[in-house]
Amino acid sequence: MIEEGLREAGFSDIHLLLERNGLVAKLHQLAPDVVLINLENPGRDVLEESFALSRALARPIAMFVDQSDERSISAAVDAGISAYVVDGMRKERIKPVLELAVRRFNAFSRLQTELNEAKSALAERKIVDRAKAVLMKRRNLDEPAAYALLRKQAMDTGRRIAEVAEALVTAEALLGGDE
Amino acid sequence: MSRFRIGFLPLVDAVLPIVAHEYGLAAKEGVSITLIRDPSWATVRDRLIYGQTDASHLLAPLAIATSMGLDRPPVALAAPFMLGLNGNTVTLSNDIAAQIGLDVIGDVTRTGRALADLARARASQGARLRLAVVHRYSSHNYILRYWLAASGCDPDHDVEIVVVPPPFIAESLAMGEIDGSCVGEPWNSVAVAGGHGVIVAATSQIWNRGVEKLLAFRRETLDQRRDEVEALIRALHEAGKIVSDPAQREDVARLLARADYVGQPVELILRALSNEIMLGQGHNATRIRDFLVLHREAANFPWRSQAMWLYSQMVRWSHGALDEQGFDEAAAVFRPDVYRSALAGTGAILPGASAKVEGAIAQPLAVGSHSGRLIMGPDRFFDGGSFDPDRALDYVRSQAK
């Protein structure tokens, strides 16, 4: 997604590195001007070590932040991206890259969050349905009454309905319902 | 209720904030904790300095490096509470462990010499041993280097020290990407359980009271939310009592084992919590004294001399500049004043001094404290060295590089 956006914005020399192994060697070979990496990527410590080393060898890769960029870096971190930039790159060339990456990434994670929410709502609905079925059978209730009972129990104990439902279904399984 | 978002890496020594949260100790102090797990120290640090978290489980040297701006513009951090001492091991691949001889386990001086001999031999053949640490600015890096240097090998030239995130240690040993590592638990035990490595030394054998993780805040946060920070410290101190109670150990291990915390088997997590380490697959557990000290003997007290010792090692390995001011800046990250003010009147042990000579205690020793009785256990370096914070520059100059 970010790659696509960068291409549209006219950056053509883009390499996507997916493997954990050999990351540093690959970077040396590519000698990129900018490295964008997901904050969730466990390789970040490895990457920073290689930057620290190459600086010791006087190869000018530096981490992005001079103080004036605080806000754009902060936005990047919020979006889940970390950026490293070759020292001496002009800031006005970097900013659009980073801002574009942030916009794309934000859009992507919004989609993902919505998807996750939808998934967990579905799972909760299922467990509540099963708990209702247990109550209807065991206590001879109709569906609205079973739901009301779950809801009351949730309110009385300060838990969510799905949690109460899950506890009930687990208990039923343990105590030997005939499911 | 005041809220603290706390970043952490999946390690046994993240236990105090987790217990403070899960046992309701934070709530009792009017504080709520949200724990945020990350896979790299760089990300834990970035979330902290850019305000996505309010506090974090952090490598002590990384807190110092961040405050001093060694890699990036400085962001002042403050550490009023330590999360534990030691708890790391040196784990070698089966092949290398066999080459240095398993009979030397237990005597860290002999193990160190054997490893140093092998390292030099390999270096002269142009095939340096590759050893992993978790981060450039980590106690793991500095303790490993201290050990190797004192054992007669040059960590900058005779071996290659690389960075590998702890969860990948087992895999990296198995694939032959590295010959050994120095990381925290449970990741060594995971490597041992998988048959991928052998533990040959615990860092507690190298420095009996080695400074390790701390709870870091931005100094700005500490100043603005001082009362809330102190309440959080009290909750963490209470958590220390729970984790040092053998009767509660299993429950604590089960909690840490959860997928949202460390996500590894209970029996592997229990090893560090009980100081009973299985050195190799099929071995019996070995009791290692002071393997991981999470609370007792005022282990949570931020001794400024420990920050200064770390800085001495940063200078030694060219990560920092040799000057008096550097030592002062490093020491200023540790905030014993906040620790004392948070715990005054709670019955907690409050050491009277803020710095001590590191490595000077050979036998348990009673030392001065404002309240409570403090008996300090041995804090020796394995080579008998000691660090006097009043003579820090001399110490650095005297150390072989």
Interface of A with B (CB under 8 A): 20-21, 39-49, 52, 56, 63, 65-67, 73-74, 77-78, 82
How many Å apart are CA B348 and CA B234, to the nearest integer? 9
pLDDT of residue B73: 77
pLDDT at B276: 92
Distances from the Cα of A16 to the Cαs of A32, B40, B367, in angstroms? 11, 20, 58
What pLDDT score does B282 carry?
84
What gap in Å lies between CA B261 and CA B263, rounded to an integer?
A: 6
Instruction: Indicate the pLDDT class of residue A1, thresholds 50, 70 and 90.
Output: low
Q: What is the C-alpha to C-alpha distance for residues A121 and A128, in angstroms, rounded to an integer?
A: 11
Please name every residue paired with B358 in a beta bridge, in sequence order, or none if there are none. Answer: B387
Alpha-carbon distance B349 to nearest alpha carbon in chain A (angstroms)? 36
DSSP B207: B
β-pair partners for B163: B133
How far is Cα A17 from Cα A4, in angstroms, rounded to an integer?
A: 15
Is B164 an 8 Å CB contact of chain A? yes
Question: Rounded to whole angstroms, how far apart are CA atoms B380 and B375?
Answer: 15
Residues in A closer than 8 angstroms to B165, CB to CB, are 42-43, 45-46
CB-CB neighbors (< 8 A) of A25 in chain B? none
Round to whole Å and give the CA distance between B325 and A139: 75
pLDDT band at A91 (very low <50, low <70, confident <90, very high): low
pLDDT at residue A67 is higher than 60? no
Q: How many helices (H) and strands (E) does chain B have?
A: 18, 17
Question: What pLDDT score was predicted for residue B260?
Answer: 95
Minimal-distance CA residue of chain A relative to B42:
A45
Instruction: Report pLDDT for B291.
Output: 92
Mean pLDDT of B84-108: 86
Name the band, by pLDDT with cuts 50, 70 and 90, for residue A90: low
Query: Domain B2-85+210-263+294-341, what architecture?
Result: 3-Layer(aba) Sandwich (3.40)
Please determine, for residue A123, whether its predicted confidence score (pLDDT) is greater than 60.
yes
Token digits of residue B226: 């001082």
What single DSSP character describes residue B182?
A: E
Q: Do A49 and B51 touch (CB under 8 A)?
A: no
> The whole model's pTM is what?
0.82
Distances (CA, A) of A141 to A154, A164, A165, B151: 18, 17, 16, 76
- The tokens for A88 are 């001496």
Report helix, strand or coil for B279: coil
Residue A127 has pLDDT above 50, yes or no: yes
Residue B220, SS3?
A: helix
The per-residue pLDDT for B146 is: 97
- Assign a CATH topology to domain A117-174: Arc Repressor Mutant, subunit A (1.10.10)
**Mean per-residue pLDDT over chain B, rounded:** 93
Residue given tokens 């806000």 in the structure block: A71
Report, as an integer, the average pLDDT of B64-72: 89
Backbone angles phi, psi at A139, to 5 degrees: -110, 5
Identify the bridge partners of residue B33 per DSSP, sorted by sequence position: B4
CA distance B256 to A97: 40
**Among candidates B221, B69, B220, B54, which has minimal Cα distance to B137?**
B69
From the CA of B316, how many Å to the nearest CA of chain A? 15
pLDDT band with cut points at 50, 70 and 90 for residue B154: very high
The 3-state DSSP class for residue B277 equals strand
Mean pLDDT of A42-70: 59
Percent of chain A with pLDDT over 70: 62
Span(s) in chain B for CATH 3.40.190.10: 2-85+210-263+294-341, 88-206
pLDDT at residue A94, rounded to an integer: 63
Q: Cβ neighbours of residue A82 under 8 Å, at least 6 residues apart? A: A36, A37, A38, A39, A44, A76, B42, B43, B46
Which H/E stretch holds residue A34?
A: strand A34-38
Determine contact, residues B248/B242, Cβ cutoff 8 Å. yes
Residues of chain A with CATH 1.10.10.10: 117-174
Q: State the DSSP string of B236-276.
A: HHHHHHHHT-GGGHHHHHHHHHSTTTT-S-HHHHHHHHTTE
- Among the partner-chain residues A48, A56, A67, the one whose CB lies closest to the CB of B42 is A48
Q: Which of A41, A49, A63 sits opposite B136 (nearest CB)?
A: A49
* Least reliable range by pLDDT among A110-114, B22-26, B195-199, B280-284: A110-114
Q: Which CATH architecture has domain B88-206?
A: 3-Layer(aba) Sandwich (3.40)
Averaged pLDDT score across all residues of chain A: 74
- Per-residue pLDDT, A73: 67
Three-state secondary-structure class, residue B125 = coil
Confidence class for position B11, pLDDT limits 50, 70, 90: very high
Mean of pLDDT values over B320-338? 93
Q: Which residue has the higher pLDDT, A4 or B93?
A: B93
Contact A21 B46 (CB under 8 A): no
Instruction: Output DSSP code: residue B56.
Output: E
Cβ pair B43:A39 closer than 8 A: yes
Token pair recorded at residue B85: 């001492």
pLDDT at A64: 45
What DSSP letter does each residue of A147-161 carry, written as one string? HHHHHHHHHHHT--H
B323: left (phi over 0), alpha (psi -120 to 50) or beta: beta
